[in-house]
Structure 1
Amino acid sequence: MRRHAEKGQKCLYFLDAGMDGQRAPQALILDQRIARILRAYATRVGLDMGLQSALSVAAWIWSDGGWTPHRYGVSVQWMTAATGHLASTGSGWPSGCVDLHELAFFSGAWDPAADGPIEGLSDA
């Protein structure tokens, strides 16, 4: 089932990319690799806030598969907001390039564990 969901999201992504005009939010691909990055990020934020359940909540929200349309929508909203934030910081990040942000995640250009390993979090 997970493979069908990933293929459906990839189809949406490419259909969206082929459409004329700018729409918000842009279709993105939520796959296992992106989910693991979001899980690591959510875990890091939760631990930094002192939440004891950070690891288990992040693992439940950003599991390796079985994403609902709601979870896909949350990931698209988060990536859109994060991209907007990056563009507003004066870092030179282009506004409206949510798929570039997603590519940075997918290619490993940004690693939420870069500040050190997150205890209890693994890629498995």
Structure 2
Amino acid sequence: MTDAVEDGTASPALLCATSTSGRFCETSTTPSRTAAARPATLRTILVADDLEAALAGAVTALSEHSAQAAYAALRGRIPWLGPSFFTKFLYFAGKTVPPANDPEPLVLDRVLARRMRSLASQVGRETGHDPDGSIARRVWRDQDWSPHRYQVYLSFLHAAAHQAASTDGWPSDASLDLLEYALFNTAWMYASPSGHLPA
């Protein structure tokens, strides 16, 4: 797939299908309407009239501007193709078409937003700026994040990865997506500045 993208033989729609199909085609031991609808939803996305143009425009925005600009170019363009899925497309596109500015694109979905909400809530309680977590809940809602929020997420993960790489507990040459993967797959434990974990 990477070779096809680099030499121009893979269409953006093919990259989109490849990057999102795993999530749409997941199987579950407990059938649900949502699981049953996933293949139909993917078909709906892939036959959208302006899918090719929207994805190509996002790749152009990425190569000429930034991941935030590419995110903005896709937000709300294709029915059923929300940030949880189009950031997967941006992630894979960014592996072959690096952004002109700012950090490389990463996946942002509901799980990662909830991890960010948990972390922001803890910091807000400790600092007294958000004692009840209401700001964190609003800022890190479950869907439809703004391009600005996506940029904040990318900036945070880049800074966190840089900070982690300066410690003995994290590989100094680890790729940024390793931190994203850890955040997605691990219960997030935040240590306060005093070194104590939250109760």
Superposition TM-score, scaled by structure 2 size:
0.51
Q: Percent identity?
A: 32
More displaced stretch, 99-108 vs 3-12: 3-12
SS in 2 for 1:79: helix
Task: State whether residues 105 and 111 of structure 1, in contact with CA within 8 Å, keep that contact through their aligned partners in structure 2.
Answer: yes
- Equivalences for 1:1-124 in 2 at 5 Å? 3-19=81-97, 25-95=103-173, 97-108=175-186, 110-112=187-189, 115=197
Q: What amino acid maps onto 2:157 in structure 1?
A: M
Distance 1:50-1:111 versus aligned 2 partners, 3 A rule: same
Q: What amino acid maps onto 1:112 in structure 2?
A: M
Q: Any idea what the Cα deviations from partners look like across 1:19-46, whole Å, max 9, x if unmatched?
A: 47xx851210110000000000000111
SS in 2 for 1:36: helix
More displaced stretch, 28-37 vs 8-17: 8-17
Q: Which residue of 2 aligns with 1:120?
A: none
**For residues 113 and 95 of structure 2, what CA distance do their matches in structure 1 show?**
21
Task: State whether residues 130 and 136 of structure 2, in contact with CA within 8 Å, keep that contact through their aligned partners in structure 1.
Answer: no
Q: Greater RCO between the two (CA within 8 Å, min separation 6)?
A: 1
Q: Any idea what the Cα deviations from partners look like across 1:60-105, whole Å, max 9, x if unmatched?
A: 1111011111111110000000000000123233346210000001
Structure showing greater radius of gyration is 2
Gaps of 5+ in 2: 1-75, 192-196
Q: What amino acid maps onto 1:97 in structure 2?
A: S
**For residues 78 and 25 of structure 1, what CA distance do their matches in structure 2 show?**
10
Gaps of 5+ in 1: 118-124
**For residues 149 and 129 of structure 2, what CA distance do their matches in structure 1 show?**
22
Q: What amino acid maps onto 1:7 in structure 2?
A: F
Q: What amino acid maps onto 2:150 in structure 1?
A: Y
Distance 1:24-1:91 versus aligned 2 partners, 3 A rule: farther
Q: What amino acid maps onto 1:87 in structure 2?
A: A
RMSD: 2.7
